[in-house]
Amino acid sequence: MHPQLSLGLLLALSLSLQTVVAKIYTAPEQIANKQYDYIVVGAGTAGAVVAARISQLPAVKVLVIEAGLLDNGTQSDLLSIPLLAGQAANTIYDWNYTTVPQTGLDGNKIPLPRGFVVGGSSNLNNLVYMRGPKDEWARMQNVSGDSGWSWDNLQKYIFMNEQHASAWNHRCNAGEYNPVVHGNGPLLSSLTAMPNELDSRVLKAATELKGEFGPYVLDFNGGIGLGVGWIETTVGDSARSSSATAFMHPALDSQENLDLLINTQVTRLLPKTSGSLDFRTVEVSQGAAAPTYTFVATSEVILAAGAIGTPQILQLSGIGPKATLKTAGVTQLVDLPAVGSNLQDQALVFFHWAVNGSTLTDFLNDPAAIGAALQQYATNKTGIAASSVVFNTIGFLRLPESCDLLHGIEDPAAGPNSAHFQYSFLNAYAANPGQTGGPTSGDFISVSILVQSPTSAGSVNIVSKSPFVHPAIDPAYYTTKFDIGTAVEAVKTLEKIFAADAFHGFIGQPTADTAAALKSDAAIESYIRKFSASVKHPTSSARISKVNDTTGVVGPDLFVHKITGVRVVDASVLPFAPAGFPQAEVYIIAERAAALIMSKFDPFLTSK
Ligand SMILES: Cc1cc2nc3c(=O)[nH]c(=O)nc-3n(C[C@H](O)[C@H](O)[C@H](O)COP(=O)(O)OP(=O)(O)OC[C@H]3O[C@@H](n4cnc5c(N)ncnc54)[C@H](O)[C@@H]3O)c2cc1C
Ligand SMILES: *[C@@H]1O[C@H](CO)[C@@H](O)[C@H](O)[C@H]1NC(C)=O
Ligand SMILES: *[C@@H]1O[C@H](CO)[C@@H](O)[C@H](O)[C@H]1NC(C)=O
Ligand SMILES: *[C@@H]1O[C@H](CO)[C@@H](O)[C@H](O)[C@H]1NC(C)=O
Ligand SMILES: *[C@@H]1O[C@H](CO)[C@@H](O)[C@H](O)[C@H]1NC(C)=O
Ligand SMILES: *[C@@H]1O[C@H](CO)[C@@H](O)[C@H](O)[C@H]1NC(C)=O
Ligand SMILES: *[C@@H]1O[C@H](CO)[C@@H](O)[C@H](O)[C@H]1NC(C)=O
């Protein structure tokens, strides 16, 4: 027997006697030769893409180190079944982070789930796939000084990453998406199998109200940032399409030069020798009381640990702001103050109305009905569990130019054709955390309010030199006048939108909590501060900047400033909270990053 075979692999082999070429290790001591060309830290959304792409070069040896679990073991239905999307928070697949008390949210500590599993947060998220408007990428180009990040120049990476799939029932969805903006990549995206009355009312209102709430946008993945349209979700073949299913597993099953080490946390990067700026030595451990091991990357280390994990690792390595490191008891080796600063996230809150029409409220309140849907799914992967069904339509709007909130500040939107706020339309009653007394039966809808272009920014900072102590996470939600003011405006605008003919005879009374909130601006504000949760899109904690501009963390090529051999490829490099949704944006960044890395090997793989 080959000494490198791990227990996990043996188990897998005994389950299916197919040829499994890549190696999955469950402990660092199982790997005898600890030198690789590339070491990818985190098998998440970005990490799995980068690893799958660069291991296509047969001459390089790639190791991916993932703190969490494999995604195809116990309880993995929780990850794969579309109806259960979002339910893996606070399970074995979650890091279980919470924020520090949020002054903008009545002092509440907000849960911030992150994937602790191969596939990372792409395996836990709510499936929305939205690349962001052209403006978003123009801003990325501007901030980084690199035209390679422009919308036009990213098209080839977008196309090689994703493709449109049909819903399980193959319903005709012509006119609900634009085929020409979709590519031929392994990641699958699709529309809901079950459009509902709310969706058609929303789209009708977009046409009716034109610029006030609209226009209807055929496909938000075509670079458009304003209007109303359908949501595309990372679902294909009746199941979640994640960076694990689309990239990591196919690569593991076919590429011999790729190794995956799971259940193992990267604790820090070490300089080659004292005083060296070469940080390609990766320290790992399986727990606070477990031994540490080191691996060496001869070419590059790619940090893909996400917007919390990446700044944490850099700070633990002595790369970051002096005061933070000192407090935690870590010696500063490289002064890079932006590591962990600029953390942005968006807060989300639901308002509720009774409707005269059929919704999923009763279904979601009925364990027997959900059980039957899951039973049907288990039988033949069809039915209500087999696609995203609650949340199908979305609207992106701007504040009017005349709005006071925009006076005296630089417009925080990604560009002139990008939103200040967003509505998501849910075909069910979705309580906010901590909200009780809602309806338990009947037909209700929920509309979530989100400030798309928040000006609030906070930090993620280590508080201990132990890598197993969670960092202090402070998104600083609603700590600026613009953010809270915009959220209040969004709610008031929604009331006007619901007065459209398109909603006549459908939208009924608001629930008691919503009705009480709608009485005044102050009441809306207190409702928002009391009930907001995270949309779970943290970004920008290792943000991109221009060459040698150390007010950011990475340069345009994603190499960490001031040190050698380490790139960051994940949501932390986004310069601002996304104007779209981060999952798709992270996939795009990962594809270009892989091309930048591989360009050194093949002159025909250009980076621009
Ligand atoms: C519940 C939920 C709902 C969401 N809904 C949506 C949505 O509908 N649409 C959307 O666009 N976005 C959504 N998001 C956000 C989106 O999924 C993330 O922004 C995106 O997946 C982040 O990708 P990433 O590569 O930066 O990080 P991740 O995908 O989180 O990957 C980081 C990986 O690194 C690993 N890791 C971290 N630290 C270490 C370490 N020290 N050592 C080893 N490994 C480590 C982690 O375990 C993880 O596997 C949601 C997120 C969550 C959690
Ligand atoms: C997160 O919390 C759940 C529920 O308590 C637990 O089962 C899981 O192990 C926790 N995750 C981690 C990474 O510790
Ligand atoms: C580009 O960024 C600079 C600041 O770095 C800003 O002043 C300018 O308005 C930006 N231009 C565009 C087109 O976004
Ligand atoms: C889990 O995924 C690995 C890697 O793709 C594969 O080798 C293994 O067979 C899978 N295990 C199960 C139980 O499906
Ligand atoms: C799937 O199973 C359900 C019952 O569980 C059945 O009603 C349905 O017709 C089946 N669909 C297909 C396509 O086999
Ligand atoms: C509810 O909808 C039905 C049919 O769509 C309509 O006839 C009825 O007038 C509506 N009721 C109210 C209160 O709007
Ligand atoms: C960045 O800094 C390096 C090292 O100091 C220098 O060689 C290079 O010319 C600088 N590049 C730019 C664009 O300023």
Tens digits of residue pLDDT in 560-589: 999 999 999 999 999 999 999 999 999 999
Task: Output the CA 315–ligand 7 centroid distance in Å.
Answer: 24
Three-class DSSP labels, 187-203: EEEECCCCCCHHHHHHH
Taking residues 376-394, report their average pLDDT.
Answer: 98
Ligand 6: which atom is nearest the Cα of residue 506? Answer: 14
- Counting Cα atoms < 13 Å in the Cβ hemisphere of 376 gives 14
Structure tokens at 101: 């008390």
Closest by CA to 334, choosing from 271, 424, 378, is: 271
* Burial class, 395, CB count within 10 angstroms (exposed 0-12 / middle 13-18 / buried 19+): buried
**Other beta carbons within 10 Å of 606:** 11
Q: Is 547 in the pocket of ligand 7 (CB under 6 A)?
A: yes
User: What is the pLDDT at residue 4?
Assistant: 39
The answer to whether 251 touches 57, Cβ cutoff 8 Å, is no
Ligand nearest to the CA of 311: 1
Ligand 7: which atom is nearest the Cα of residue 546? Answer: 13
Ligand 5: which atom is nearest the Cα of residue 382? Answer: 1
User: What is the pLDDT at residue 601?
Assistant: 86
Beta strands in 506-571 (DSSP E): 507-510, 533-534, 566-568
Round to whole Å and give the CA distance between 506 and 495: 14
Average pLDDT, the chain: 95
User: What is the pLDDT at residue 21?
Assistant: 60
Structure tokens at 425: 């339309």
User: What is the pLDDT at residue 103?
Assistant: 98
Ligand 3 pocket mutation pick from 135, 140, 142 by most atoms within 8 angstroms of CB? 142
User: What is the pLDDT at residue 602?
Assistant: 65
Q: Is 504 in the pocket of ligand 6 (CB under 6 A)?
A: no
Ligand 3: which atom is nearest the Cα of residue 142? Answer: 1
Residue nearest to atom 12 of ligand 6 (CA): 505
pLDDT in tens, 172-189: 999 999 999 999 999 999
Ligand 7: which atom is nearest the Cα of residue 548? Answer: 1
Residue nearest to atom 11 of ligand 6 (CA): 505
pLDDT: which is higher, 602 or 238 = 238
pLDDT at 607 over 70: no
Taking residues 103-112, report their average pLDDT.
Answer: 98
- SS3 category, 519: coil
pLDDT at 9 over 50: no
pLDDT in tens, 506-544: 999 999 999 999 999 999 999 999 999 999 999 999 999
Task: Output the CA 11–ligand 4 centroid distance in Å.
Answer: 9
- SS3 category, 549: coil
Round to whole Å and give the CA distance between 322 and 334: 9
Task: Output the CA 380–ligand 4 centroid distance in Å.
Answer: 21
User: What is the pLDDT at residue 423?
Assistant: 98
Ligand 4 pocket mutation pick from 13, 14, 16 by most atoms within 8 angstroms of CB? 16
H or E, element range at 252: helix 249-254
Round to whole Å and give the CA distance between 517 and 532: 13
Task: Output the CA 511–ligand 4 centroid distance in Å.
Answer: 47
The answer to whether 349 touches 448, Cβ cutoff 8 Å, is yes
Ligand 2 pocket mutation pick from 95, 96, 124, 469 by most atoms within 8 angstroms of CB? 96
For residue 399, what pLDDT band results from cuts at 50, 70 and 90? very high
For residue 12, what pLDDT band results from cuts at 50, 70 and 90? very low
Percent of the chain with pLDDT strictly greater than 70: 95
pLDDT at 15 over 90: no
pLDDT in tens, 242-285: 999 999 999 999 999 999 999 999 999 999 999 999 999 999 99
Q: Which amino acid is at 315?
A: Q
Q: Which amino acid is at 156?
A: K
Taking residues 41-64, report their average pLDDT.
Answer: 97
Ligand 6: which atom is nearest the Cα of residue 505? Answer: 14
H or E, element range at 485: helix 481-497
Q: Is 402 in the pocket of ligand 7 (CB under 6 A)?
A: no
Q: Is 505 in the pocket of ligand 6 (CB under 6 A)?
A: yes
Residue nearest to atom 5 of ligand 3 (CA): 143
For residue 22, what pLDDT band results from cuts at 50, 70 and 90? low
For residue 600, what pLDDT band results from cuts at 50, 70 and 90? confident
Taking residues 130-143, report their average pLDDT.
Answer: 98
Residue nearest to atom 13 of ligand 7 (CA): 547
For residue 14, what pLDDT band results from cuts at 50, 70 and 90? very low
pLDDT at 5 over 80: no
CA angle (99 as vertex; 95, 102 as ends), nearest 5:
165
Structure tokens at 222: 């075509």
Q: What is the pTM of this model?
A: 0.95
User: What is the pLDDT at residue 16?
Assistant: 44
Query: 């009485």: which residue's tokens?
Result: 519
Taking residues 456-463, report their average pLDDT.
Answer: 98
Query: 């007010």: which residue's tokens?
Result: 551
Round to whole Å and give the CA distance between 222 and 134: 8
User: What is the pLDDT at residue 364?
Assistant: 96
pLDDT in tens, 334-374: 999 999 999 999 999 999 999 999 999 999 999 999 999 99
Q: Which amino acid is at 36?
A: Y
Is it true that the peptide bond before 58 is cis, omega within 30 degrees of 0? no
User: What is the pLDDT at residue 1?
Assistant: 30
Helix pair angle (45-54, 582-598), 10° resolution? 30
pLDDT at 468 over 90: yes
User: Which residues have C-beta atoms less than 6 Å from ligand 5?
Assistant: 376, 379-380, 382
Ligand nearest to the CA of 546: 7
Round to whole Å and give the CA distance between 580 and 130: 6
pLDDT in tens, 29-40: 999 999 999 999
User: What is the pLDDT at residue 603?
Assistant: 52
* Burial class, 207, CB count within 10 angstroms (exposed 0-12 / middle 13-18 / buried 19+): middle
* Burial class, 333, CB count within 10 angstroms (exposed 0-12 / middle 13-18 / buried 19+): buried
Q: Is 356 in the pocket of ligand 6 (CB under 6 A)?
A: yes
**Other beta carbons within 10 Å of 371:** 10
Beta strands in 483-587 (DSSP E): 507-510, 533-534, 566-568
Ligand 6 pocket mutation pick from 196, 356, 506 by most atoms within 8 angstroms of CB? 356
Residue nearest to atom 6 of ligand 7 (CA): 548
Ligand 3: which atom is nearest the Cα of residue 410? Answer: 9
User: What is the pLDDT at residue 333?
Assistant: 98
